[in-house]
Structure 1
Amino acid sequence: MNKGELTRQRIIEEAAPIFNQRGFAGCSMQDVLEATGLEKGGVYRHFASKEELAAEAFQYAWGRVVKERRQGQDAIPGAVGKLIYTVRRFVETPGVLPGGCPLMNTAIDADDGNPVLRGLVCAAMEDWKARLASIVEEGIARGEIRVGVVPRRVANTMIAALEGALMISRLEGNRTAVQDAGEALELILGGLAA
């Protein structure tokens, strides 16, 4: 990377936690300038708008989350084992950025007012669902998961339970709901085995 690319990446990395904690509307460019120590022209040399920076910050944040949550998954044998491992990683791995899950935060923040961020969140969600559904499909094809199990339904249930539990846990200030969801999902996923 050249100096300009390194500066651009540093801006993204330092802006990501701010956007994740405060949302698009709650994060000012002044906040970004203070975090990076750059002048306005230094930031706008790399990003045409706050929206462009927010989009890049979300993609960076979500990429970090995916990498952290998938770490070690390929070494897990069997489809049901991979699904349970995915749940355990979600439950046991603390957030990689201050403010919690960037997918949930950005989805709530961008739902009504920012079509660019909303589009990125929708794409991230579809990717997550597709990855989970693919594990189920492979398990069915290998005879590890019962025929008739609907991969989309498994993916939607896992994501809804985990993200919903995360919201409850954040509101209550403890990890109880996330742990409860993890245990319930492990029972459900164990029942998928052929």
Structure 2
Amino acid sequence: MTKGEQTRQRIIAEAAPIFNQRGFAGCSMQDIMDATGMEKGGLYRHFSSKEELAVESLRYALAKAVRSRTEKVEEIQGAVEKLRHLIRHFVESPSVIPGGCPLMNTAIDSDDGNPALRALACDGIQVWKTRLCRILEAGIERGEIGERVLPRQIANTIIATLEGALMISRLEGTQTALEDAHHSLDDLLSGLATS
């Protein structure tokens, strides 16, 4: 990696928490300059616009969150246990990016705003949904999960429940909603198993 690429990656890593905490509109280039110690010209040497930096920062944040949230899942046997692990990890482990879940933050922030960030958030949801669906489909194929289960429906329910509970927990300043979601999803998963 060249020195320029290293600098670009450092800027992205240092900007990601700022965009995650303040959103696109709430984050100024001055905030990025303060965090990185760089001048405006130095930033624009690496990024053509604030939007480009925000998009790259979200890509970085999502990749880091996915790595953290899916850690060791392949070592777990059984589809239901894999899903339990993913849910437990989401509930018990704080975001690796300061400011909370970058996917939820960006989805809310860009809903009526920045189309590039909105598209990236949509892709993030699709990737998560696909990952959950593949686990469910593999469980159905192996006979661990009932064949009448609709993977898309269960994946949407898991994502919506976790993200909604995270929002409530953050607003209330407690883990109660996340813990309640964990218990409800655990009951849902118990109902999927064939044995």
Same fold (TM over 0.5): yes
Q: Matches of 1:116 and 1:95 in 2, distance apart?
A: 23
* Correspondence for 1:189: 189
Which residue identity is paired with 2:89? R
- Mapping of residues 143-154 of structure 1, within 5 Å: 143-154=143-154
Percentage of pairs with the same residue: 64
Note the alpha carbon deviations across 1:80-116, whole angstroms, 9 max, x for none: 1101111001011111111110000000110101100
Superposition TM-score, scaled by structure 2 size = 0.98
Which residue identity is paired with 1:94? P
* Correspondence for 1:21: 21
Task: Name the SS of the counterpart of 2:174 in structure 1.
Answer: coil
Which residue identity is paired with 2:152? R
Which residue identity is paired with 2:106? T
Count of matched residue positions in the alignment of Structure 1 and Structure 2: 194
CA RMSD after TM alignment: 0.5
* Correspondence for 1:120: 120
- Mapping of residues 97-108 of structure 1, within 5 Å: 97-108=97-108
Q: Matches of 2:111 and 2:145 in 1, distance apart?
A: 35
- Mapping of residues 142-181 of structure 1, within 5 Å: 142-181=142-181
Task: Name the SS of the counterpart of 1:191 in structure 2.
Answer: helix
* Correspondence for 1:38: 38
Which residue identity is paired with 1:26? G
* Correspondence for 1:57: 57
Superposition TM-score, scaled by structure 1 size = 0.99
Note the alpha carbon deviations across 1:46-94, whole angstroms, 9 max, x for none: 1000000000000100111100010010011000110111100101111
Note the residue ranges of structure 2 that are not aligned, 5 or more in a row: none
Note the residue ranges of structure 1 that are not aligned, 5 or more in a row: none
Q: Matches of 2:79 and 2:173 in 1, distance apart?
A: 33
Q: Matches of 2:68 and 2:92 in 1, distance apart?
A: 11
Q: Matches of 2:142 and 2:45 in 1, distance apart?
A: 52
Which residue identity is paired with 1:49? S
The Cα shift of 1:32 comes to 0.2
* Correspondence for 1:135: 135
Task: Name the SS of the counterpart of 1:45 in structure 2.
Answer: helix
